[in-house]
Amino acid sequence: MKKNILLTQKDELTLRQQKSRRERMGILITALIIITAWVVGYFANDTDTLEAALMVIPGASEVQTRGTYYIGLDQNREIIGYAAEGSGNGYGGPIRVMVSVDPAGELLSVMVIEERETPGFYRLVNSNNYLEQFLNRQIVEPFQIGNDLDGISGATLTSEGIASSVRKSLQTIAREGLDAPLPPETKRLKFGLPEIFLISLYGAGYLSGRFRNPKVKRGTRWVTLLTGMVVLGFIYTAPLTISQVIAFLSGYWPDWQNNLYWYLLIGGMLLTTALDAKNHYCAYFCPFGAFQETLAQLTDAKLYRPRGWKDFLKWLPRVLTLGAIVIGLVLRKPGVVGYEPFATLFDLRGTGLEWALLILTIFASLIFYRPFCNFICPIDPTVDYIYAIRRWISEVRKK
């Protein structure tokens, strides 16, 4: 009898060791795939800017390169304008613009020559004629959202990325073309209600997990869920998406003064996952997750995982997430691979596919508990990958 028990324990130990080895191999293979995609995307060809410089200087028959800026010449070989490229980070990565000014320092034209935004965000900027705000103004003006520029509601990161690109272009023209450097740009820390709510929700989620009273724990969790859905979802439309994860992996790190919210959101999730082994964002205040749970309360929907589809449903979100990350890194366009219907729900805009996915999720949420989160959400596999790395490090430290 003892011998059989020892054999059983030995078999269980062997199975755990085999599972651990497979998990570590999966970590290494996934990391290798992501690194390869990053390298391929990094060495992709950039857009030619000489033709863009000619297009943005009205009346120019020729453009010549002068260091990092361009001069536009008319038919009499007279200088009629200057142009320069600038780049600033938007929602999905760098937004490159070409800006032109006349010899007196008046801004003539702004053209976006490359962007990596989610199509819905960029269409929102174009439909509101955002670029027209920059025209016929002097180079010395601040060109800052909330000061002399109006941002686009629902596309604040995109509009700020364009404004930042324009400011960098004008700094180059003023310094090198007009020989009249602009004063250094001062950036004020953007800290307001979204950041306060986010920190409070992380704190409430952390404390809620330590309450012993089930009723208090459940009540606190529903407070954080509804707050996340209303504030981060419907009011500010600022949930975490795979596009932002890919943007950070691509090295597109926006300035923290204007984008502190996103650093707190992603940093908080990584920190709580790595240190506390819990994903407080998804469990306590993910806006879309809260929306699904609210619908589940109407019909008392339960978690459903069919046995015959267990492995398929386990690997589906992992494959979708890895595929999105690889495509986003190779194309260097994080915005085009996001498939979450968050903006469709909270801002009522999106592609036909996103609307179809939202409608399907709404009906499924009345039958199953959190169907999108459990079956296709890309954030959960990302967190699982962090968990696996954490377990590996923990095991190595113990040994």
The pLDDT tens digits along the chain (399 residues) read 555 555 566 667 677 777 778 888 988 999 999 999 999 988 875 666 788 888 889 888 899 888 889 999 988 889 999 999 998 888 777 888 999 999 998 999 999 988 877 776 777 777 778 888 888 899 988 888 877 778 777 677 788 888 889 999 999 999 998 888 888 777 778 888 999 999 999 988 888 878 888 888 899 999 999 999 999 999 988 888 888 888 888 888 877 887 889 899 988 888 887 777 778 899 899 999 999 999 999 999 888 777 777 778 788 889 999 999 999 999 888 877 888 888 889 888 777 888 999 999 999 999 989 999 988 899 888 888 888 888 888 888 877
> Cα(203)–Cα(271) distance, rounded to whole angstroms?
12
**Together in a domain, 232 and 160:** no
* For helices 287-299 and 352-365, angle between their N-to-C axes, nearest 10 degrees: 40
**Together in a domain, 250 and 369:** yes
**Together in a domain, 204 and 164:** no
**Together in a domain, 381 and 262:** yes
- Residue 184 maps to a domain: no
Q: What is the pLDDT of residue 190?
A: 82
Q: What is the pLDDT of residue 23?
A: 83
Q: What is the pLDDT of residue 13?
A: 65
> Cα(103)–Cα(60) distance, rounded to whole angstroms?
13
**Residue where one domain finishes, among candidates 155, 177, 199:** 177
Number of domains forming the structure of the chain: 2
CATH code of 109's domain: 3.90.1010
Give the amino acid at 45: N
> Cα(189)–Cα(255) distance, rounded to whole angstroms?
10
Q: Kindly list the distances between the CA atom of residue 261 and the CA atoms of 10, 321, 392, in Å, as whole numbers in the listed order.
A: 49, 23, 30
| Number of residues assigned to the chain | 399
**Together in a domain, 256 and 394:** yes
What residues make up the domain containing 74? 50-177
- Residue 389 maps to a domain: yes
**Together in a domain, 222 and 364:** yes
Which is it for the CA torsion 242, 246, 249, 253, positive or negative? negative
- Residue 17 maps to a domain: no
- Residue 298 maps to a domain: yes
**Residue where one domain finishes, among candidates 177, 210, 240:** 177
Q: What is the pLDDT of residue 85?
A: 92
**Together in a domain, 117 and 247:** no
**Residue where one domain finishes, among candidates 177, 210, 238:** 177
- Provide the whole-model pTM: 0.80
Two tokens, residue 382: 């990302």
> Cα(221)–Cα(211) distance, rounded to whole angstroms?
11
- Residue 85 maps to a domain: yes
**Together in a domain, 230 and 117:** no
Q: What is the pLDDT of residue 45?
A: 58
Q: What is the pLDDT of residue 186?
A: 75
> Cα(281)–Cα(270) distance, rounded to whole angstroms?
10
Q: What is the pLDDT of residue 107?
A: 92
**Together in a domain, 217 and 327:** yes
- Residue 9 maps to a domain: no
- Residue 40 maps to a domain: no
